[in-house]
Structure 1
Amino acid sequence: MRTEEKRIINYVKQQRAIILPPMGPAWFSSVMGTGILSNLLGRHIHAQPWLIVPSAFLLGVGALLLTLYTYSYCARWIKNTNNIRSKRHLLPAVDPNWGTVSMGYLSIGAALLTVGPHIGLSSIAVPGDTILWWIGTLIGIITNFSFMAHAIFRHLGQPVPAWGLAVVGPMVSATTGAILLTHYACLGMQFFILTLSFLCFIIALVNGAIIFALAYGSHMRFNKLPTAVALSAWIPLGVVGQSTAAAVAIASSSGLFLTQLAHPYATHMAIGYGCIMLLTAIPVIAFAARQTISGFARNLPFSPGWWALTFPIGTLALGGAFLSEVPMIAGTLLATIASIIGWASLTTLCFTWTFCAIASLWAVKNGPRTTN
C-alpha cells in the first residue's frame, strides 16, 4: 500500500465513527463524483492523450458503481416490499438524496459521450447518453417538484444546504442536454431538448436560490450546521458551477436557431451570468471550507456524504472551463482567469476524489453491517 493511502486511512481511523446507510440514493454521490472527473479528464484527451487511461478507468468504475447500486437497491426494494423500513427513502427528509441518483445517471452519460469515442464506444456514446439523460432528467424533475411540495405543505425542520440536492439535478440536465442535442441530426429533436434544457435551468435556478437563501439564513440566525453534515456546505457550489456551464452550453447551442444578429446577445448574457457566478463562488467556497475544517477537527463521522467534496468542485471546474472556451472572450483576461479557476478546481477534484475513494473503501471494509 502506498504511503499516501496509508496516511489517509490512518487519518480516517482516528476516533472516527462510520455511518453506512442501507443501499439507497445516498450512495449515488460516489457515482456523481466519479463521472464528472472522468468527463473533465476526457475533455483534455486531444491535448494530453495519456489522459485516456484515467478517464476510461473512471468511466468504467462509475458505470460499474451505477449498475451495482441500481441493481442492489431494486433487489432490496423487491425483497423488503412489505417492510416499512425499506421505504425510508420515501420520507420527505430523504427526498433530496434522490438528486444524487439523477446526477449519477447524468454524469455517467456525459462521461460516456466525452470519453466513449476515444475507447471504441462511438456507436453507443450518443444512444447511451440519451438513455441515461432521460432517466436522470425524469428523476431530477420529479425529485425537485416533490421536495418543493413537501417543503411547502409539511414541516421539514430548519433548512439546510443538503436540501439543494433536490435542485441540482435539473441544472445538470440543462448542461448535458445542451451538449447532447448537438449530436442529433433531427432539427425538431434539437429544439425540443434545447427547450427542455432551458426549462430545467430556470427550475433549478429559481428553486435553488430559494432553498439556499433559506439555508444560509437559517445558519446565520438559528442553527449551526451539525458536524455530521458539515460537508453539505459544498452543495451550493454545485449550482454555482453547474449553472455557469449550463448558461454557456445553452447559449452555444441556441446558435442553431437564433439569427447571426441575435446569437451574440445570448453569448453576452451567458458570459455575464458566468462572471456573476464565479464571483458568487468566493463566499460559497469560503463558507464550505470553514465548515469542512471545523467538521474534520471535530472528528466528522464518515458517511457517503463525504463525496460532497467531489461533484460541486467538479462543476466549478466545468463552469470555468466552459467560460474560458467561449470564442468571444478568447485571449482576454477573463478567459485566463476562468481557465485558471477551471484547472485549479480540476486539480483539487483529483485530490478530493482520491481521498473520498480511499476513505470509502476503508469504511466499507471496517464499518457496521446492515441487513436492510
Structure 2
Amino acid sequence: MTLAAHPAATLPAPRSSVKHLPVNLFGAVMGLSGLSMAWRGAVTAFGASPAIGDAIGVVAVLAFAALAGGYLAKWKRYPEAVRAEFSHPVAGNFFGTIAIAILLLSSVVGVHHEALGQAIWAVGTVITVALTFLIAGRLFRGRTEPADAVPAWLIPGVATLDIAVAGGTMPMAWAHEVNLFAAAVGTMIALVFFKMIFSRLVHHDPLPAGMVPSLIILIAPFEVGFLAYVNVTGHVDLFAGMLFYFGLFLFVLLSWRVFRRPVPFAPSWWAISFPMAALSNAALKYAGHAQASALAWLAGLILLVLTVAIAVLSVRTLHSLFTHRLLAG
C-alpha cells in the first residue's frame, strides 16, 4: 500500500490556531443569551420550567468565557490580525457582537444576582457606546464602497438599542436617560444604515454565498427596536405593534432567501441566531399584550424554530471545532 494510492493520505491535517478565531463567533453568545431570555418568557406564556432558560444561560456564560479567553489570546499573540479584522469595512462591524453579548449576559446573570447584572450592564454600555462611535464614525472618512454596505453594518446600531433592551429594569436614577439616549442613537443609525443596505441589495450584485445568512440581521432593528421601545415607554402600543409585524414580515420574506439553498456551514451562520431570538422575545411579549390565541401559537412556533436552529448551529460549531476546521487557516 503506497501513499500514491491514497492521495488524501498525503494531505496534512488542518492546523488550528487562535489566530483564525473570528470575532463574529461572539454571535453564538448573543443567540444563546437571547434563547435563554425567550425561554424565561415562555415560563409566563406557556408554563415552561424556569430551569430550561437557566441552563441555556449557563451555556451562554461559559461560551462567552471561552470565546473571550480565546480572543484575548489572539490579541496578545497576533495583534496585527486583530487590527486587520477591526479595520475591515465588513468584519469590523462584528466587534459589536462582543458588546451585545455583554449586555445580554447582564440580563441572563441579573435574574440571579442583581448587583452583578447591573455592573455587567454598565460595563457593556460603556463598551457599546465607545464601539458605536468608532465603527459608525469611521464612515465619515468617505470613500466607502457601495458594495460594502452589507447587513453587518446594522450591528453597531442594534448594539446601541440593546442597551435599552437589557437596561429596562435597571434601578439607577440615571439609567432611564441612558436608555433613552441609546434608543435614540440606535434608532437613527439603524434607519440610515438600513436604507443604505437596502439600496445596495437592490442596485448592486447579490451578496456572496457566505454572507447570505447575514440577511436575517435586517429584521433586528425592528424586533430589537420593539423591545427597546417597550422598555423605554413601559407599554406596548400601536407603534410597537407595527415594529413587531414589519420585522415578522421581513423574517418570512428573507427566510426563503436564506434557507432555500444550502450554504456550507461557517461561523457566519450564527448571524441568524440573535435576530431570530429578538423576534422570539418580541413575539412572546406582543402575544402577552394582545391576548390572542393565534399570536400565542405563533410565539410558540417561533420559539421552537429558534431552539432547533441554535441546537443545530451549536452541534455544527462543536463538530467544526473538534475536526480542526473552525480555527483552520
TM-score norm. by structure 2 comes to 0.85
Please state whether the residue corresponding to 1:43 is helix, strand or coil: helix
**Residues 192-231 of structure 1: pairs in structure 2 closer than 5 A:** 192-231=174-213
Residues 47 and 60 of structure 1, relative CA distance in 2, 3 Å threshold = same
Establish whether residue 303 from structure 1 lines up as the match of residue 263 from structure 2. Answer: no
Match of 1:25 in 2: 23
Give the match for residue 100 of structure 1: 97
Q: CA contact under 8 A between 2:220 and 2:275: conserved in structure 1?
A: yes
Q: Which residue does the alignment assign to 1:358? A: 315
The structure-2 alpha-carbon separation of the partners of 1:282 and 1:317, relative to structure 1 and needing over 3 Å to count, comes to closer
The amino acid across from 1:284 in the alignment is: L
Alignment-derived partner of residue 166 in structure 2: 176
Corresponding residue to 2:218 among 232, 236, 240: 236
- 1:46/1:342 CA distance change after superposition, 3 Å: closer
Residues 362 and 369 of structure 1, relative CA distance in 2, 3 Å threshold: closer
Measure how far apart 1:131 and its partner are.
Answer: 2.1
- Give yes or no for contact 1:140–1:167 (8 Å, CA) kept in 2: no
Give, in whole Å, the separation in 2 of the partners of 1:352 and 1:369. Answer: 19
Matching residue within 68, 71, 75 for 1:70: 68
**Partners of 1:145 and 1:209 in 2: how far apart?**
16
The reply to whether residue 131 of structure 1 matches residue 119 of structure 2 is yes
Q: Give the superposition deviation at 1:340.
A: 4.1
- Superposed displacement of residue 137, structure 1: 1.8
Q: Please state how far the C-alpha of 1:138 moved relative to its aligned partner.
A: 2.1
Deviation string 1:69-111 (CA, Å, 9 cap, x unpaired) is 1122112212234xx2342232142321011111111222212
Mean Cα deviation higher: 166-175 or 46-55: 46-55
Q: Is the CA contact 1:42–1:111 (under 8 Å) kept in the aligned structure 2? A: no
Between 1:54-63 and 1:87-96, the stretch displaced more is: 87-96
Q: Deviations over 1:12-41 (max 9, x none)?
A: xxxxxxxx9823521110001111111121
State TM-score, norm by structure 1.
Answer: 0.76
Aligned CA distance change for structure 1 residues 208 and 21 (closer, same or farther; 3 Å) = farther
Matches of 1:21 and 1:284 in 2, distance apart? 36
What does residue range 1-372 of structure 1 map to in structure 2 within 5 Å?
22-45=20-43, 51-81=49-79, 84-93=80-89, 94-114=91-111, 116=112, 125-157=113-145, 158=147, 159-179=149-169, 181=170, 184=171, 189-190=172-173, 192-252=174-234, 267=235, 270-294=236-260, 297=261, 299-326=262-289, 331=291, 333=292, 336=293, 338-368=295-325, 370=327
The sequence identity of aligned pairs, in percent, is: 15
Contact 1:92 1:150 in 2 (8 A): no
How big is the shift at 1:217? Answer: 1.2
Corresponding pairs, count: 310
Change (3 A) 1:71 1:225: same
Q: Contact (CA 8 Å) 1:110, 1:176: kept in 2 or not?
A: yes
Aligned CA distance change for structure 1 residues 161 and 86 (closer, same or farther; 3 Å): closer
Cα deviation for residue 126 of structure 1 reads 1.1
Q: Secondary structure at the match of 1:310?
A: helix
Question: CA 1:367–1:223 in 2, change beyond 3 Å: closer, same or farther?
Answer: farther
Amino acid at match of 1:313: M
In the TM superposition, what is the alpha-carbon distance from 1:319 to its structure 2 partner? 1.6
* Whole-angstrom distance in 1 between the partners of 2:155 and 2:85: 14
Residues 337-367 of structure 1 show CA distances to partners (whole Å, capped at 9, x for unaligned) of 5544433321211111111111111221224
Letter in structure 2 aligned against 1:167: G
Give the secondary-structure state (helix, strand or coil) at the position aligned to 2:206.
coil
Larger mean CA deviation between 355-364 and 278-287 belongs to 278-287
Q: What is the CA–CA distance in structure 2 between the aligned matches of 1:41 and 1:282, rounded to whole Å? A: 19
1:134 is aligned with what amino acid? A
CA RMSD of aligned residues (A): 2.5
Q: Give the letter aligned to residue 110 of structure 2.
A: L
- SS of residue in 2 equivalent to 1:137: helix
| Structure 1 residues 239 and 341: alpha-carbon distance in aligned structure 2, compared to 1, 3 A threshold | farther
Name the CA distance, whole Å, in 2 between partners of 1:347 and 1:174.
26
In structure 2, stretches of 5+ residues that fail to align are 1-17
